Each structure stands twice: as structure tokens, then as C-alpha cells.
Amino acid sequence: MSFPDAGALADHSEPKSDLRLWLAKNASQLALAPSVVIVLVVIYGFMVWTGVISLTASKMLPNYSFVGLAQYGRLWSNPIWQIAVSNIFIFGFLFIGFSTAIGLALAILIDQKIRAEGFLRTVYLYPMALSFIVTGTAWKWILNPGLGLERMLHMWGWESFRFDWLVNTEYAIYTLVIAGVWQSSGFVMALFLAALRGIDEDLVKAARLDGAGATQIYRRIIIPQLGPTFMTVGVILMQQAVKSFDLVVALTSGGPGNSTNLPATFMYTQTFGRDQMAVGAASAIMILMTVAAIVVPYLYIDIRNNRNER
Amino acid sequence: MHYWTSGSEAAGLDVLKQLLEKRGVSWSDSPVAGGTGMNMVQVLRARIASDTAPSAAQMHAQQVQAWAAEGVLTDLSDLAKKEDWAKIIAPELVPLISYNGKSVAVPVNVHRSNWLWYNKKVFDKAGVQPPTTWDEFNQVSEKLLAAGVTPLALGGQPWQEADLFENVVLGLGGADFYRKALIEQDQEAIKSETMVKVFDQLRVMNKFVDKNYPGRDWNLATQMVIKGEAGMQIMGDWAKGELSLAKMEPNVDYGCSPAPGTKGDYVWLTDNFGFFTTKDENRVKGQIEMASAILDKDFQEAFNIKKGSIPSRVDVSMDKFDFCGKAAYADRAEAQKTNTSLPSLTHNAATGATKTGVFLDVVSTFFETPTMTSQQAIDQLVAGLKSAE
């Protein structure tokens, strides 16, 4: 991208056609310029700013006395942060795994040329229309042993039924997985379904002629062709997992006993509730680095593939 | 700017609004909902950073200190001298509304957090008296359990668990220990035998709460006491709002007594208004007027009756207050004499937000993790407080 600065423009101001010519040549860049500037400032600018703050002694308001990496030391010595980090791995792994598996299964089932397909697709896809706050609140009621599922089954006579993960420090993190998977698998189904429909029918027919059963066809022919979709699903779900702040806030508020904190909720509490802006910034940078560590190689592969195709 | 959005709170603020209008000060309200005030602080920060700070904002005791340290609060010293704040404001509040010798905020009210609320009918049925020590509390609770009632109504949110913690610290350790451990964060006090006992007591209390408590709001816990599903609740005097909404009479349907072992002590928290510096002289005039109105005797009386708290002044007539309000006022006067009127840890009066956060984290984790030992909790406290320096 190159266009002369204001001084250079003024220099050739006398022939009007020159300017017009230049405008015509660079119209696309000019049209993009505002959005590029906004993205640079609002996203990358603030990323840099957060990085700077994480090196300072900021508490309640930003403060620019630098203390080196001390805040990172404090961050990693905080037991709640350690819980949050191990939680994001548990949550991310299970959330992505189950959403993908269930989404794919639903897509395969719905792909069997059934009747009411349109209706079913809508049913599966609908949870995505809800925000995580609604999902979280609804599941909070369903999973609370005194209000929801457990109580209902007790009233129906199944007295020995127990499902109290929500109020149990050890298992509460898995309730986040349940609610998250419930919300996202429909969306994953939609992606896979689209991909399934794009697969060449002739290949499937050929396999069928060779005597392959349905399971074999899916295992050997169809699913291997879904590679790019798996990649897309993985990246989308991963960024959802990393930023799933609202789900925690609505479902458990980080409790019981801080057991369901995720890095995002940790960052929020430190920055806005504990007057620890610098520690909060340090945790934000850690989150950013984790995402970058996964997204950058993906982008790299993506760009390389595109180049090879050309 | 404030976060008083519930019924009783809004009613109290209305009194202030009318009083200010009478004094010719216009009021532009900007409430930010969210009981703990975290949302409000966020809005406030953004407004200060963009140089559009509100004239006045509600803040807890330690928040006054934090904002004053940032140098953004209006100096009210002239007014303080003129109205003789040193004499009329409860003496334990004065240091927290002063910064570097200047008066920087006005206290609206004083809440008490070491209250034990109990359902009289439930207590009579089980044949028990309100406990005065933590040992008695355990015995009473066992009896209530035997009678098929949840002994203690609790909401499993970190601040509610920390409320229990500070009451046990005071009840078992006494005022000096409370001061050393929670206000000064003295290492020896935190590592002491007494602190082990405090955590042991919290562990015992695990079995006195029903199992659905995590995440429950405090007012739902109060509802359990109202309905008789639970025997008692340890909660600040804002619980009275719920009780009177349910048409319960103090000292008839429900009782209020100091939390076990804290008779003669008074654990307080206050809501203050601080005023942000501005060059606009009109606004400064309004700020001074509002500060003065908040300390007005009539306002203090009317507001605190509605809010369930007691006046921050020490010379207001208590005739119109209810039984528990009068008891609180008398207890405070008593505690002031014996120097046992103490700032609440949980409610941002004892120490800054960072250290309070460490206590909240550890206490909540301990309370909800049955496998954690008292010693582990203490070790975490020590490490956490060190990194919060």
C-alpha cells in the first residue's frame, strides 16, 4: 500500500487531471484506508498499550512507572490464575472435542435424506441464536440440584438420583462444558452439513458400487474430505473457548470457591474489582499469546496453501 | 453516580434529592446497577479518564482512600471545619474520610455486619436460644439439624463466605486479633493457632448449610429464614429490608443479636459520597452543598430508617428507628468507648481492594473445597498477601 503524504500531494496540485489519475489508480487503497487505520489503532494499538501497562505499576488508574516483568511473576504465583489456566485447558479440550463430535454426528444423521430436515436443522441451530448469558442462566437453573433436574427427578420418584456438579468444586468446570456444547454443536452441525453437501456424489456412488457399507463410506471417503472444515470448526471453537467469559459469569460467577475461573474472568476481576490493572493486563497478554500461538501457525499454513494453489 | 437501585435504597436517595432541591442544587442521577459496585467503578474510571467525572459518586471506605490517592477528590476541609465534623461524625470513620490531613468524603450511613438474624418460631420449636459463642453456635446448629431445619442460611458467593470468616475471626480471636490479622495483616497473627481455629470453625460450618448454597444471592438466603426453612443467617443489617418486606416484626417474628462471640463489638461498613475535582465553580458549590446536606440530621434520620442502617453522626435521635436499629446504635456507642468498633474486611473498610481480594479468594476456596486443610488456607493467605504488597 503506498500513497503520497499531504506534502507530496500539494506539490503537484496544479494539473487537476494528475490528482484524478492518482485517485483512480489508488481508489481501492483509499477506500480501505479508514478501516485499516481503525483496526490498527483500536485493535493493535490497544494490544500494545495493554502490553505497556502490564510492565507498569498501575493499580486503579493507568500509571507509567515501569517495573519490568514483576507483574508476570505475581500473575503466575497467583493460585487463582493457575486454576484459571488449567481450567481453560480442560474446558477448551472438552468443549472443542464434544462440540465437534456431536456436531458431526448430527450432520451425518441429518444428511440421510430424511423428511422434516429443514425443521430439524432449525431446531439444532437455534441455540446459537441465544447469547451465552441466556444459556448460562438457563443451565444454572436446570443444573442447580435444589431447583432443576435433580429436584424434578426426585419429585417423579427417583429419589436416589444425584447430579450436583454445579455446586461441587471438582466438577463445576464440566457444567460449563455441558452448557457450551449444548449451545455450539448445532452451529458445528451446520458447518459440517454444508461440507457434506459439497462432497462429490460420484465418489460415493462409485464406492457403493464397489460394495462399501455406509460406515465405511463415511470413515474412508467422506470424513477425510472434511479436513478444511475440521480446521475451521477448530479455530472458531477455540476462540469461543478462550473468550467464554459470559458463560462463566452467568452460570457460576467463577465459583464455587473460585473453581471455575477462566483467564478471561480472572482478567476482569483483577482489573476492575481488585485495583490490579497491571496484573490484569499481564493476564490479557498471556491470553493473547496463547491465541497467537495457535492462530499464527494456522494462518501461516492457510497463506502457504493459497500461494501453492496459485 | 451510585449503585443504589433496589427499593429501599432508591427510597433513601429520594430523601436526599428532595433536600438538595430545597437547597437549590439540581440533581442529575446516574445509577449503575450491580450490587457490589464493580460496574460503577468501571464507568467511573472511564469518565475520569475522559475528563467527564461526575460531581459526586458513592464509594466504600477504602475506595475513598484509593480515589484520594489518585488525587481526584475535592477538598472539603473548609466545610469540615465549619460544621465540626471531628465532633459530629463517628470517630472511627474520620480517618477513612481523610487523606493527608484533608477531608475528602462524607459518610452517609453506617451498616453493621456482625448481626445474627434468626427466626423466632423456628428457634422456639427447636427449643434453642440465640448462640453467644461459636461453640454454642455449633450446639444450636446440631439441634436445628436434628429438628430437620437447615441451621444456617448462606449464599455461596465469596463475599458472603468472607462475611462469615470475619465474624469468626472476631468471635474467636477478639478485637485485637481482628485488628492485627485483618487490618494490619500481621504475619504472626495470620500464622497463629487462633487462625487455625478460625478455619476449623468454618470447616465445621460446612455441614450446617444446605448443599445448594453455591452462587445463591444473600436475599434468597434471607428468604429461607423468613420461610422457616433455615434457622439463622449471619448478614449485615440490609437483611432487615427483606424481613420487613415480608411483614416480619423485629423481636417478635425474628430476632437480631450480635454474631456469636462479638457482643460488645461493632463491625461497620459505610457508604460515602466523594466529590470529584472540577474547575466549574457552580459544581463545586453544589458539591459542598450536597456534602453538607448528607450530614443534615433530618436527612440522616430519614435516610437510614429507609436503608436499614444507622446514622454516621453520633448525635441523631433514634426514637423513630426499629428495635434492631436502636440496638445497633447503642452497641456502637458502647464499642466506641472500648475501642472495639472495627471496620469490615469484606465490605472494603479494613483494607484495600487488592488485599481484600486475597482474603476473599482464599476463604471462598477453603469453604467450598472440603479437602483443603486450615493450614493450607493459612499458607495461601500468607503467600497471597505477600504478592499483593
What ipTM was predicted for this assembly?
Answer: 0.81
Number of CB atoms found within 10 A of residue A38's CB:
11
Closest CA in chain A for residue B368:
A257
SS3 annotation, B3-71: CCCCHHHHHHHHHHHHHHHHCCCCCCCCECCCCCCHHHHHHHHHHHHCCCCCCEEEEEHHHHHHHHHCC
The pLDDT value recorded for residue A296 is: 85
Strands (E), B160-309: 230-234, 254-258, 266-275
Strands B230-234 and B115-119: antiparallel
The pLDDT value recorded for residue A14 is: 54
Residue type, A233: V
pLDDT tens readout for residues A175-214: 999 999 999 999 999 999 999 988 888 888 888 888 888 8
B387 inside 8 A of chain A by CB? yes
Question: Which DSSP category does A167 fall into?
Answer: G
The pLDDT value recorded for residue A244 is: 85
Closest CB from B69, B215, B380 relative to A252? B215
For chains A and B, CB pairs below 8 A equal: 93
Is the separation of the CB atoms in A176 and A244 below 8 Å? Answer: yes
Question: CA B23, B28, B33, B34: dihedral to nearest 10 degrees?
Answer: -60
Burial of residue A120 (CB within 10 Å: 0-12, 13-18, 19+) is middle
Residues 6+ apart with CB under 8 A from B286: B25, B26, B55
State the average pLDDT over residues A134-143.
Answer: 90
Strands B102-103 and B150-152: unpaired
pLDDT tens readout for residues A68-116: 999 999 999 888 999 999 999 999 999 999 999 999 999 999 888 888 8
Count H helices, E strands: chain A? 15, 0
Q: Which of A121-125, A298-302, B341-345 has the highest mean pLDDT?
A: B341-345
Q: Which of residues 202-231 of B touch A (CB under 8 A)?
A: 210-215
Closest CB from B38, B69, B368 relative to A273? B38
Q: Kindly report the nearest CA distance between residue A255 and chain B, in angstroms.
A: 7
Q: Kindly report the nearest CA distance between residue B28 and chain A, in angstroms.
A: 25
Q: Which of residues 226-265 of A touch B (CB under 8 A)?
A: 252-253, 255-259
Closest CA in chain B for residue A143:
B212
The pLDDT value recorded for residue B62 is: 92
Q: Kindly report the nearest CA distance between residue B298 and chain A, in angstroms.
A: 34
- Which residues pair with residue B343 across a beta bridge? B268
Tell which residue, B165, B153, B212, B170, has the closest CA to residue B340: B170
A257/B368 touch (CB, cutoff 8 Å), yes or no? yes
A256/B366 touch (CB, cutoff 8 Å), yes or no? no
Q: Which of residues 145-184 of A touch B (CB under 8 A)?
A: 145-147, 164, 166-167, 169, 172
B368/A164 touch (CB, cutoff 8 Å), yes or no? no
A61/B49 touch (CB, cutoff 8 Å), yes or no? yes
Which secondary structure element, helix H or strand E, spans residue A53, and what is its range? helix A46-53
Q: Kindly report the nearest CA distance between residue B238 and chain A, in angstroms.
A: 22
The pLDDT value recorded for residue A310 is: 61
Tell which residue, B87, B134, B76, has the closest CA to residue B262: B134
pLDDT tens readout for residues B191-228: 999 999 999 999 999 999 998 888 888 989 999 999 99
Is the separation of the CB atoms in A183 and A177 below 8 Å? Answer: no
* Residue B216 half-sphere exposure toward CB, CA atoms < 13 A: 23
Entry pTM: 0.85
Tell which residue, B235, B160, B148, B149, has the closest CA to residue B202: B160
pLDDT tens readout for residues B231-273: 999 999 999 988 988 999 999 999 999 999 999 999 999 999 9
Average model confidence (pLDDT) for chain B?
A: 92
Q: In what order do the strands lie in the sheet with B115-119?
A: B150-152, B230-234, B115-119, B254-258
Q: Kindly report the nearest CA distance between residue A77 and chain B, in angstroms.
A: 8
Measured distance CA(B222)–CA(B28) in Å, rounded: 33
Measure CA of the first residue to CA of the last residue in chain A; give whole Å.
Answer: 21
B353/A275 touch (CB, cutoff 8 Å), yes or no? yes
